Amino acid sequence: MGIAAIKIKIMPTSVESNLDLIEKKVKTILTERKALNIQSEKKPIAFGLNALIFLFAWQEDVSTDNLLDSLREIPEVNSAEIIDFRRAFG
């Protein structure tokens, strides 16, 4: 199978949530699950609330369901959703 480029949006529970800690935990989970070329950015949403956007390469034939469940279990994470999924190589 090929490689997919996936973009995930992580929403924190509040403005006071520690985005740096969330970002570190997300990167750890992605690395453990063999995601490649992990990039992240903070995106302003509204009223001081920022989302974390992650872009990474993923084996196309590996399900993302368990990955999303793991990301949603991180403390101070309100939601985790795939906002873009594209075939990159293969």
Query: What residue numbers bound the domain in which 22 lies?
Result: 3-89
- Residue 90: the pLDDT is 59
CATH label of the domain that carries residue 79? 3.30.70.60
pLDDT digits over 35-88, tens only? 999 999 999 999 999 999 999 999 988 889 999 999 999 999 999 999 999 987
Number of domains the chain contains: 1
More confident residue, 73 or 1: 73
Determine the Cα angle at 73 with ends 24 and 19, to 5°.
35
